[in-house]
Amino acid sequence: MERIGFAGLGRMGQAMAGRLLAAGFPLTVYNRTPSRADALLDGGAAWAATPAELAARSDIIFTILTDDAAVEQVFRGPSGLLTADVPGRLFIEMSTIRTATILALAGAVEQRGARLLDAPVSGTVAPARAGQLLVLAGGRTTDLERARPALETFSRRIIHIGGQGAGTTMKLVLNMTMACFWGALAESLAVGQQFGIDLATMLDVYLDSPVALPALRGKAPLLLGEEQEVAFDVTGVRKDLLAMVATAQDAGVPAPVASAALAHFAAATAAGYGKRDLAFLVEYLADLAHRTARVAFTLGEP
């Protein structure tokens, strides 16, 4: 059984690394904030003090990090993964980053005699814990087959999208639609609320129509006051949209809709919503509209 290294122990990383550990893979972990590794270490994982040490002690190394800058630092910074002796290693990069970043990184990895698979996932923390993520893989078929036993510990399906960078691009394509939906939904519901239509009524109509994404069904109770674990926070969506818009620009694709969604998520982050679930963009825009409207509207009697 191949030795697994795992760098990046946010909510998703902890859940995925936990699945690898439970499946019996020898696991070594690294994170900038060591305390996030406590539960995994208690479960039998080993600790690496630096990314270089992680690479030296592992055959396959997973990374799921905050953004492009964090990926560059972990791979190519002082004591980074690529400062170790890594011929024959397989790196599996799962962060949501620019396609240009993953393509440049692939070249650096291969120059060191190693291989890189880009394999971001669709799904949030609960599916990760249940082993129900969708893996979007880009790279060589042989590398994907080598990685498959490990990937299967936390996934329900693994899709080989294409060559290097295809998995990363597909994740951006997928999440751009999701982020734009939530931006448009928040605007729409704010308009309705400004005219006095009850939020529960509007959600009921959405969910009985072909308009809503399936994800809305799980978030509707949250919007109506039910307590839920944060699955994907506002700041995270803002960060991902930066990569989406930049990649669209790289490809010569105008992205005014995604740019508008980015503006909403950035403003919500600045307003203190950053650590809240992305669904709270609805609350942010409704509150903003309530505070800034020049006229109070009242609809007629039914």
Instruction: Say how far apart CA 292 and CA 284 lie, in whole Å.
Output: 12
The pLDDT > 90 percentage for the chain reads 94
**Which of these, 65, 54, 63, 51, lies nearest to 26 by C-alpha position?**
54
pLDDT tens, position by position, 186-235: 999 999 999 999 999 999 999 999 998 888 999 999 999 999 999 899 99
Answer whether 123's CB lies under 8 Å from 134's CB.
yes
Spatial neighbors of 153 by CB under 8 A, at least 6 apart, are 16, 19, 20, 22, 23, 25, 131
**3-class DSSP state of 125:** helix
**Domain 172-292 superfamily per CATH:** N-(1-d-carboxylethyl)-l-norvaline Dehydrogenase; domain 2 (1.10.1040.10)
Q: Given a cut of 70, is residue 142 above it in pLDDT?
A: yes
Cβ count near 137 (within 10 Å):
28
What is the rounded average pLDDT of the residues 142-146? 98
pLDDT tens, position by position, 26-63: 999 999 999 999 999 999 999 999 999 999 999 999 99
DSSP designation for 194:
H
- pLDDT recorded at residue 293: 80
Structure tokens at 287: 């509150």
Burial of residue 294, with CB atoms counted within 10 A of its CB: 0-12 exposed, 13-18 middle, 19 or more buried? exposed
Question: How many helices (H) and strands (E) in the chain?
Answer: 13, 9
**Which of these, 68, 65, 56, 78, lies nearest to 31 by C-alpha position?**
65
Q: Indicate the fold that domain 4-164 takes in CATH.
A: Rossmann fold (3.40.50)
Answer whether 241's CB lies under 8 Å from 228's CB.
no
Q: Given a cut of 70, is residue 296 above it in pLDDT?
A: no
State the Cα angle at 96 between 171 and 80, rounded to 5°: 140
Q: Given a cut of 90, is residue 260 above it in pLDDT?
A: yes
- pLDDT recorded at residue 295: 66
Burial of residue 103, with CB atoms counted within 10 A of its CB: 0-12 exposed, 13-18 middle, 19 or more buried? middle
The pLDDT > 70 percentage for the chain reads 98
Instruction: Say how far apart CA 52 and CA 82 lie, in whole Å.
Output: 7
Residue-range domain boundaries for the chain: 4-164, 172-292
pLDDT tens, position by position, 223-253: 999 999 998 999 999 999 999 999 999 999 9
- pLDDT recorded at residue 301: 67
Cβ count near 9 (within 10 Å):
26
pTM recorded for the entire structure = 0.93
pLDDT tens, position by position, 57-102: 999 999 999 999 999 999 999 999 999 999 999 999 999 999 999 9
Average pLDDT value for the chain = 96
Strands 121-122 and 90-93 turn out to be unpaired
pLDDT tens, position by position, 148-189: 999 999 999 999 999 999 999 999 999 999 999 999 999 999
Structure tokens at 12: 């998703």
Instruction: Say how far apart CA 65 and CA 118 lie, in whole Å.
Output: 13
Burial of residue 118, with CB atoms counted within 10 A of its CB: 0-12 exposed, 13-18 middle, 19 or more buried? buried
